Structure 1
């Protein structure tokens, strides 16, 4: 019996040692889950793929002797598909999922990550609920949210006397989140929203009636509380039907490649906030030119966020010495984010990675001197002003006095 017991103990010890060795040698698995070819592919797609690859390459392809493996998952802008594929990915060993363009998809995947104690980094969706009342200890929100994209343009224009607003709103989770943030910001700045009109998300192709309602309202500012093709279609319709000489357009979610697609003459004068502009510093230019060589276009703020979020996660894995979600998330909250995307960024209690934002205006064709020279940076909005103050957060993870 003693020999049998010794054999069992030896077998158990060997199994434990083998498991530990496997854990050290097993790949670190990350997945970009996004719209790979649909209406919001600019928020993921090829740009997201290459940004993730660049981050893995820049950290050397492995962490603490463990190779990093990448998967690309198309959620097709359908929250149910996103949830199903996230569950499958996590069950099959994925440690972290990133991007999640489409706020409804992001909110669904956040629940799966929490239930399975895995990491999710949201870079492609902006609902304020992500770090608000739906916040999760397993989620980090990079790049932007509805508040950071709406507060700066509203404050700056209202301060200049443009205090009457009309909103064209996409009737889905993110568009409604932006509408709420804009309405609150306008009210706080002393302005007023004189009217709104809602359209179905990514289904409307004729924006003429929405544009005509906005123009005829007489509002000094027409705000576009939508994204992707809905925003560019809104801009085209407003230009076609003739904005008044004293009317301005503000887009609350716009990417530089959408300006490229519109043409600078169509987008000229448009004001918006962004987390990243490729031509802002030497560091942004150096990284962006590398990106351009791979993709054939300059990166937008989501591409840059995908790179930065992946790099921050992998550095946290390295610092923690493990891919255990709790320990990695602890390091992600502890470690600052310093790269071409953010300077001294930090992950707060609510999961928001706060960083400077930039208020920009699209140049005139005459001002643009070389390809992709599209933006004037009007203001730098410091992190503490760019995001909702922590004491006002609705996230239950935030300690209340």
Structure 2
């Protein structure tokens, strides 16, 4: 019911401006730049493409009387590859907006290029706070989460539960560094301490040396500041090393539904995590997610839900602006309300960060799971002010001195 109401409202919104439509190339073109075969393919990848296509199909496949086209490419977690694809998309193929972009290093490269070319960028998969802080852009929108949000949600809960000493296993690139730094600030502010850290290359298969360092540190908590298959492999091998049996706890600072599915509830049970959405929240999220599963064979991660919401909001802004001109669309995006089945109390700040309600969840015990993909127990709704970088400390030039 809610999906049909939102769709109808969208169509009504488009009607008054259709006559003044100004669409470059007579098509609105969306490029999903993602990870199709790498470490984060399960939580982004094909699912992100499907999520974007579902947003387009939900509004009828056209906007302002013009067709909407969705294309995709794999950036291979390489900034130069991602930049080359984005440049070709902007300069040759007429792409109006790029969505998803898992990998913070790639996202930061795209941010600069999109600013230069005056094209919209919709980040769901990237986590670095730099996208809305030092390297913010009037055309860049950070949609789903960032390292500040997930570290504040998860690390504070673990410290309050008695996990006062930590050792980090962090992926050795911008995302892992930022996640470790953000979590460290939360831990120390909450009265805990960090005893050490080890950084591993992206897509690591053997965590033995890193786990030995974690064991010898004597830390109560081994914090995983990585994502995707790296998190899964680290947690699986930690079980083989007997970390939990030896008295240490695992805290995955970012963990996705697909990671839990890969690990199994027996291995993942009891793990705290912070998420911006969950498929089993209400009738509307369940209805959308069942459509998604029919096309992908899995329930959506929060990153898939973010791509859907970002693309939907972008198209709504094109309808409001009466054009796909990036400056006018960006202004409309900041003005109109965010409305989709996964967004509650969401809005866009001056720095491009989408502030939204997040959720502290815990992975269920196998005995508590009643049906497939029933993995999370929602413990608490976290209001936006607890999970977003305060504007008073912002280095983004888009943030006015009055707001600071």
Same fold (TM over 0.5): yes
Contact residue 221 and residue 248 of structure 1 kept, 8 A = yes
Contact residue 154 and residue 189 of structure 1 kept, 8 A = no
The answer to whether residue 206 in structure 2 is matched with residue 206 in structure 1 is yes
Give the secondary structure class of the aligned counterpart of 2:366. Answer: coil
Q: Which residue of 2 aligns with 1:90?
A: 90
Give the secondary structure class of the aligned counterpart of 1:42. Answer: coil
C-alpha separation in 2, matches of 1:24 and 1:147: 37
Q: Which residue of 2 aligns with 1:257?
A: 258
C-alpha separation in 2, matches of 1:212 and 1:270: 21
Contact residue 249 and residue 271 of structure 1 kept, 8 A = no
Q: For each residue in 1:340-387, what CA deviation from the matched residue of structure 2 results, as whole angstroms up to 9, or x when unmatched?
A: 121131111111111011111111111111111111111111111121
Q: What runs of 5+ residues in structure 2 fail to find an aligned partner?
A: 1-19
Aligned residues: 381
C-alpha separation in 2, matches of 1:35 and 1:42: 9
Q: Which residue of 2 aligns with 1:42?
A: 42
Structure 1 segments, 4+ long, off by >6 Å, are none
Q: Which residue of 1 aligns with 2:343?
A: 342
C-alpha separation in 2, matches of 1:127 and 1:100: 12
Q: Structure 1's 229 and 21: CA in aligned 2 closer, same or farther, altered over 3 A?
A: closer
C-alpha separation in 2, matches of 1:358 and 1:154: 13
C-alpha separation in 2, matches of 1:43 and 1:358: 18
Contact residue 256 and residue 301 of structure 2 kept, 8 A = yes
Q: For each residue in 1:110-137, what CA deviation from the matched residue of structure 2 results, as whole angstroms up to 9, or x when unmatched?
A: 1111111110111111011111111111
TM-score, length basis structure 2? 0.91
Moved more, 159-168 or 241-250: 241-250
Q: Which residue of 2 aligns with 1:61?
A: 61
Give the drift of 1:244.
4.1
Contact residue 23 and residue 324 of structure 2 kept, 8 A = no
Q: Which residue of 2 aligns with 1:238?
A: 238
Q: Structure 1's 65 and 239: CA in aligned 2 closer, same or farther, altered over 3 A?
A: same
C-alpha separation in 1, matches of 2:254 and 2:118: 31
Give the drift of 1:25.
7.2
The CA RMSD measured in Å over matched residues stands at: 1.5
Contact residue 178 and residue 225 of structure 1 kept, 8 A = yes
Question: Higher Cα Rg: structure 1 or 2?
Answer: 1
Give the secondary structure class of the aligned counterpart of 1:161. Answer: coil
Q: Which residue of 2 aligns with 1:129?
A: 130
Q: For each residue in 1:148-167, what CA deviation from the matched residue of structure 2 results, as whole angstroms up to 9, or x when unmatched?
A: 11001111222233211111
Contact residue 43 and residue 258 of structure 2 kept, 8 A = no
C-alpha separation in 2, matches of 1:283 and 1:249: 33
C-alpha separation in 2, matches of 1:184 and 1:376: 27
Contact residue 34 and residue 45 of structure 2 kept, 8 A = yes
Contact residue 123 and residue 143 of structure 1 kept, 8 A = yes
C-alpha separation in 2, matches of 1:161 and 1:129: 31
Q: For each residue in 1:14-40, what CA deviation from the matched residue of structure 2 results, as whole angstroms up to 9, or x when unmatched?
A: xxxxxx987477001111011112222
C-alpha separation in 1, matches of 2:172 and 2:158: 25
C-alpha separation in 1, matches of 2:171 and 2:46: 25
Give the drift of 1:322.
0.6
Q: Which residue of 2 aligns with 1:363?
A: 364
C-alpha separation in 2, matches of 1:101 and 1:111: 16
Q: Which residue of 2 aligns with 1:155?
A: 156
TM-score, length basis structure 1? 0.92
Q: Which residue of 2 aligns with 1:323?
A: 324
C-alpha separation in 2, matches of 1:387 and 1:319: 28
C-alpha separation in 2, matches of 1:382 and 1:312: 21
C-alpha separation in 2, matches of 1:135 and 1:70: 25
C-alpha separation in 1, matches of 2:22 and 2:128: 39
Contact residue 220 and residue 248 of structure 2 kept, 8 A = yes
Q: Which residue of 1 aligns with 2:3?
A: none
Q: What runs of 5+ residues in structure 1 fail to find an aligned partner?
A: 1-19
Q: Which residue of 1 aligns with 2:9?
A: none
C-alpha separation in 1, matches of 2:59 and 2:293: 20
Give the drift of 1:313.
0.2
C-alpha separation in 2, matches of 1:43 and 1:349: 28
Contact residue 25 and residue 65 of structure 1 kept, 8 A = no
